[in-house]
Amino acid sequence: MILLSLSGFTETENNPLLADFKTPCETPPFHSIRHDHYLPAFKAAIDEAKNEIEAIANAETAPDFRNTIEAISQSGERLSRISSIFFNLNSAETDEEMQQIARDASPLITDFYNDILFNEKLFQRVRQVYEQSENFELTSEQKMLLEKTWKSFARNGALLPADKKQKMREISRELSELSLKFSDNILAETNDWFLHITDEAELSGLPQSAIDGATQAASSKELEGWVITLHAPSFVPFMRYSDRRDLREKVYMAYSTRSYKVNEYDNTEILTRIANLRLEKANLLGYSSHADFVLEETMAQNANTVNSFLKELADASLPVAKKELADVQEFAKTKGFNQAIETWDWAYYAEKLRQEKYDFDEELTRPYFQLEKVKEGIFELTNRLWGLTYKPNTEIPVYQKDVAVYEVYGVDGKFLSLLYLDFFPRPGKSAGAWMTSFREQYRKNGQDIRPQVSLVCNFSKPTDTKPSLLSFNEVTTFLHEFGHALHGMMSDVNYVDLSGTSVYRDFVELPSQIMENWAVEHEFLDLFARHYETGDPIPAELVEKIIETRNFHAAYATVRQLSFGLNDMAWHSITQPVKMKPEIFERTAMQPVQLFNWIDGTMMSTGFSHIFAGGYAAGYYGYKWAEVLDADAYKAFRENGIFDKATAEKFRNYILSKGGSEPPMELYVKFRGKEPAIDAMLERDGLKKL
């Protein structure tokens, strides 16, 4: 990398983002960073990166892999670092000023990357290396980087004439701005709405954990009584346990109309514009749809494969899901409810049926899943499988007081990674759970630069009387995101572009979803599941109940995921701009697997951040695709032992450490010895092919 002096940028003096990080492990100096540091830092880092790119493009030496492809990969290191810090915080700890900075910085960053992609001199050097690749002795990883670099230019318009390149620039910039606005709107709608309860009778049916959370939420707003919010730790238990159907409907409607109201946070026109712009971009590049463009770079390869996969799952699950709905409807009648089951009734009556059928209430498991103990259990699991150990480091700066940082070491005692853990909801944090990083793993001048990985979740907060106690679903979420973290922490590649989770979108969920399988294993739960008050281990019969109920309404869950996947594919398979009302478009897309009556005025697309503000456009099917992979892969652990080190080492060597350095199907076959089949997933979920 060509390092240039930043002297001369007078407005950047004493900017911690532009200085070498003198913190432990060169971590972001959050304690020193102010909001007004970001924009000057972005501008300075962009200028620095531009100079690096110009030096590569104008080099007098003949282009080869090292002075062109590798040099491009290593350029812009400072800009990438600042971007990781800022945009991670804009999701986890944002405010109005941060959101405005994002709106100001994103066009600058988009323009910079477009300048690279449309730099004719640079592209001709890349093209020469690509077309003469047989003249260079390249490793398999170098070949992957060369292929990825070539495609990053070709698939973003480098081969287009000048007028179409300009149009691509305009589209890319507008898409960047719209995605930010889409995400900001959802966060605002989620944070702004709450149900204030002052009559204790309206808490009927809620478990104590939910009531405690509602008390704390009210206190945080300086209100008397109880508050229900649209954040998952509040929303989910309310929909599952509240006896008040009218309030369940009210909460559901608030959630299902997020950013679908005539106000400043309405995403209706934004999502349509995003879909149409993506189509226009795909057309410019010679593709008939955005899905065709995206899926070319996936394991699935094309829309036909995805649609056939979704149909195969629908054929297997929809009849069973309809039977599950009928069973719940019949059960509700026995409880005096004679109306049609609506979406705000499903979780409530399904939970009642599960309790009666299996004599099991998931709330009974919560006392055994104290967050700290679950964390220790996951640490122990990864120690048994891969020999990982974790050491807390309180000297490392954090961006919020609840965040904890661990140094992670491998079986050989060598430093592997940093791990940031950010568990609890707050107003500045987006909903959901995700893994990200402040620095990826790569090698530079012979040195292995280790990653700085972060897990961001929205788990139930501790109360004044109880520690954070997780639901079983939250335990599986923790395991899921930890799988992503392992993918990042165990990365062992040379180039940042191929590091960790930089893999095909429909492959990236394999490391995360395979981890969920341990959640229903006796041997794993016995490691940590202790009652938070008595210390007693979780009873064996309770574990059996968890296992027995694992597939309870698995078909319904599959159909729900399929509805999201079909909606995603519909928005991104359009070959003409969408002109119909988005609500009608969505209903048409999801109709093949629709189980409930449509509720006028609701729409999930306006809150579908995965595809309109994230990286899952034409890729949401990947969650189910990865379930096929993880079910098949986990059979290797079931066959050899769930703590089998040899199997774990193969999974590390061929999946976790390789990132995108080899084609994913080749990596999978090296691990498993064969390509995956759908049967393992259908068997695990209790579904049968029809």
Residue 254 pLDDT > 60, yes or no? Answer: yes
pLDDT-derived band at 686 (thresholds 50, 70, 90) equals: confident
How far apart CA 293 and CA 456 sit, in angstroms, is 30
Torsion angles phi and psi, residue 229, rounded to 5: -115, 180
pTM over 0.75: yes
The answer to whether residue 481 is catalytic is yes
Could you please report the per-residue DSSP string of 29-78?
-TTT--HHHHHHHHHHHHHHHHHHHHHHHT-SSPP-IIIIIIHHHHTTHH
589-603 per-position pLDDT tens digit: 999 999 999 999 999
**Active-site position among 48, 70, 481, 516:** 481
535-590 per-position pLDDT tens digit: 999 999 999 999 889 889 999 999 999 999 999 999 999 999 999 999 999 999 99
Q: How many CA atoms lie within 13 A of 451 on its CB side?
A: 30
Q: What is the mean pLDDT of residues 97-110?
A: 96
423-450 per-position pLDDT tens digit: 999 999 998 999 999 999 999 999 999 9
The pLDDT value given to residue 8: 39
Give Cα 251 distance to the centre of its chain.
25
299-346 per-position pLDDT tens digit: 999 999 999 999 999 999 999 999 999 999 999 999 999 999 999 999
Percent of the chain having pLDDT more than 90? 93
Q: Which domains does the chain have, with CATH numbers?
A: 10-159 (1.10.1370.40), 193-256 (no CATH), 268-360+554-620 (1.10.1370.10), 367-548+623-684 (1.10.1370.40)
Mean pLDDT estimate for the chain: 95
Could you please report the per-residue DSSP string of 253-289?
HHHHTTT-SSSTT--HHHHHHHHHHHHHHHHHTT-SS
The pLDDT value given to residue 677: 86
The pLDDT value given to residue 1: 27
Residues counted in the chain: 690
Helices and strands: H and E segment counts in the chain: 26, 9
Residue 524 pLDDT > 90, yes or no? Answer: yes
622-639 per-position pLDDT tens digit: 999 999 999 999 999 999
Q: What is the mean pLDDT of residues 157-175?
A: 96
Residue 7 pLDDT > 60, yes or no? Answer: no
Residue 391 pLDDT > 80, yes or no? Answer: yes
Q: What is the largest distance, in Å, between two alpha-carbon atoms of the chain?
A: 83
260-271 per-position pLDDT tens digit: 999 999 999 999
